[in-house]
Amino acid sequence: MRWSSSGRGNIDDERATSGGGFPAVPLGIGGFIVVALLSMYTGIDFFSLLGGGQANAPSSTVGTSGHVTASPTEEKMVDFVNAVAEDVQSTWENVFGGRYQRTRVTLFRDQIQSACGFAQSATGPFYCPGDHKVYLDLGFFDELQRRFGAPGDFAQAYVLAHEFGHHIQALTGTESQLRQAQRDNPSSTNALSVRLELQADCYAGVWGHAASQSGRAAQGKVELDPGDVDEGLRAAAAIGDDRLQKMATGRVMPERFTHGSSEQRVTWFKRGLERGDPRACDTFSTTR
C-alpha cells in the first residue's frame, strides 16, 4: 500500500490513560476466541496466565490524553491508522454525501471504558454504536501476523475498514434493526450476527475497490499495490469462525458462528472489492 501521513485528525489517542491490571499481551479478536474456548473446555483460566512486554526503544509523544510512551514503529502505525481512517471515510463521503457522519478511531492499551461498556485488548478491534467510534489496540496487528499468518498493511487496513463498515450500518439503521430482530427472536441471534459481520466485510471491500484505482497516491490518497488484495483475502480467511474454532478445539461448531466461516468472509469481502457498490452487500437476502 502507498499512503502518506496527514496528521492525526481521525485519532483519539487514549494510550496514555488506558491499560493496567489486565493481560499485557493483546490477543486480538481471534486470540480472544482461541483463549476463551481453551479456558471454557479445559477449566483453566488462560487469561490469567498471559504476561507481556514492552516494545523496544520507546519515546514519548503527545496523545489526546497526554504523553504517550511508544516506539517509533508504533508511532508510524498510528500515522498509518489515521491515513486509512481518513481514506475510508472520504470514500464513504463520496458514496453518501452529506448523510455520512465522520467518526474517529480511539487507540488504547490493554483496556478501556467505552459507551458500550468496559473492553480489553483481548476483545480485538470493535465498533461501539453507543458513541459511534472504532476502538483499536495496535497490538492486534502483530497478533494478526504472528498468530494467524495474515501479514501486510492491507490486511491491517481491511480490519479497520471492516469496523468502519459497522459505522455505515449504524448510520443506515441496519444495526439497530438487527438488534431489534435479535431481541424479538433470540434463537436467530448468531445467524443475524453473521449476516451483519459479512456485510461489514463487503463494505470493507467497497473501500478496497476505491483504493485500488490508479493515480490515487499522487493525490495523497491510499493506493493499493500488486499483492495487496491477496493480503486482505488471507486476513479474511484467517479470522473465519470455523478456522478459529478448529484452532481452539479441533472441531467446528457452525451453530456458534458469530462472524461467518472463512469461505463466507472471503466471498463477501471479494464481492465488495469486485463490485465497489454497497448495494451489492445485501447479506440478509441470501442463504450464503
pLDDT tens for each residue of 63-105: 565 678 889 999 999 999 999 999 999 999 999 999 999 999 9
| pLDDT of 186 above 60 | yes
CA end-to-end distance (rounded Å), the chain: 31
More confident residue, 176 or 286: 176
**CA proximity to 203, closest of 171, 238, 249, 246:** 171
H or E stretch including 139? Answer: helix 139-146
Q: Phi, psi (5° rounding) for residue 160?
A: -65, -45
| pLDDT of 30 above 80 | no
Three-state SS at 247: helix
Lookup: cell for 53: 512486554
Mean pLDDT for 164-189 is 96
Predicted local distance difference test score (pLDDT) of residue 217: 95
Start-end of H helices in 9-138: 28-42, 72-96
List CB contacts of 271: < 8 A, sequence separation 6 or more: 202, 205, 280, 281
225-247, pLDDT tens digit by residue?
Answer: 999 999 999 999 999 999 999 98
Predicted local distance difference test score (pLDDT) of residue 38: 47
Three-state SS at 234: helix
